[in-house]
Amino acid sequence: MSSVIEVRELTKSFNEITAVDNLTFTVKEKEVYGFLGENGAGKSTTIRMLLTLIRPTNGEIKIFGLDLSTHRKEILERTGAIIEKPDLYKYLTAIENLSLFAVMSGLRLDRNQLMDKLEKVGLGERADSKIKTYSQGMKQRLGIAVALVHDPDLIILDEPMNGLDPQGIADIRNLINHLSKDLGKTVFISSHLLSEMEQVADSLLIIHKGKKIAEGNMHELLSPEQSRIEIETNSASEFVQKLNQTNWGPKIISVNGKKIMMQLKKDDVPLLIQKLSEMKIDIYSVHKKNSLEDYFLSLTGD
């Protein structure tokens, strides 16, 4: 598969603060690429740079093989986006909003075509209602219709599940799967909802304080063959010091208080416990941590 987004050494600084620090990643065609990070990690800044809302301080962005700084129009003609909450013109109706953004995307659609697009997101019956009468979920669906109005090849979704009820979240999840699996679109999605991300994303990028801390295929990262084990001990520093003198040392991923996260093969777990016992290290608990949330927290240290 060819690359749709190629980001190289991307950096954005606001005065003294570096919001995005030397970020490099690649998004392949037709994949759902999850973008994870805590609040303030630099996700929205990165997405804004992908959409030319913010100028990078340094680095290079290529989308569809074209340099974003010189081919902005061609790239954005093939890109649809929701940036945080879908703010639209509250004093206009849904069909007026959709028509307006279709024109902004270079399209002139008649009422039937617009109605067809609104019906696809379940808003056909409320097409002539003003947005100020819409619920958050309806606004989100209209935001998606706006993002997809020009049938883009790349869809960038920044926290698309924010503020939605469980049914709304499920609808978005199904839509993302439909866009990717049935229509062959490339989806770049950031979200706080780790369990949802785990269900939709093919690949994953995790950033922390503006820096990339993990990237890869979701199944590889969360592979049962490569279990993450959280070990609670009375002295993490002693644990790390002693293990670093053995070949178990490189398997330590992170240390958080008295808890140590290690990445091991399933069969290595009893061997490690036996070794710790020989080294007279007190162990209070051992947990297998294999969800995306566990993985994310092990990396960010929270």
Partner 1 sequence: MSLLKIEIFKIFKRPRTYIAFSVIALIIILIQIALKFGGEEYVGLMLSGMGDSFEQIPSKDILNGYLVCFVILNLLLIHIPILVALVAGDAVAGEANMGTLRLLASKPVSRVKLLVVKFMASAFYTLILLIWVAVLALFLSIALFGVNWLGVPRELQFNIMESDDVLWRYSLAFCFAAIGLICVAALAFMLSVFSENSIGPIVVTVCVIIVFTILTQMQIPFYDETIKPYLFTTHMLGWKGFFYVRGVEGVTEKGSIENLSSIIKSAGILIGYTAVFLGIAFWYFKRKNILS
Integer Cα distance of 38 and 40 in angstroms: 6
Shortest distance in whole angstroms from residue 182 CB to partner 1: 25
**Least distance between partner 1 and beta carbon 242 (Å):** 48
Choose between 46 and 105: whose C-beta lies nearer to partner 1.
Answer: 105
- The contact set with partner 1 (CB under 8 A) reads 14, 48, 51-55, 72-77, 79, 81, 83-85, 87-92, 96, 100-101, 103-106, 108, 146
Output phi, psi for 110, to 5 deg. -85, 175
Of the two residues 73 and 280, which places its CB atom closer to partner 1 in the complex? 73
Helix axes 94-104, 111-120, angle to 10 degrees: 110
Closer CB to partner 1, residue 85 or residue 288?
85
Measured from the CB atom, is 22 or 52 closer to partner 1? 52
The smaller minimum CB distance to partner 1, of residues 88 and 253, is found at 88
Smallest gap from residue 75 Cβ to partner 1 (A): 8
State in angstroms the smallest separation of the CB of 13 from partner 1.
11
* 151 phi-psi bin (left φ>0, alpha ψ -120 to 50, beta other): left
Considering the complex, what minimum distance in angstroms separates the CB of residue 185 from partner 1? 17
Complex with partner 1: residue 50 or 243, whichever CB lies closer = 50
The number of residues making up the chain comes to 302
Shortest separation between residue 219's beta carbon and partner 1, angstroms: 32
Q: Please, what's the b/e burial string for 223-259 (b: 16 or more CB within 10 A of its CB; e: otherwise)?
A: beeebbbbbbbeebeebeebbeeeebeebbbbeeeeb
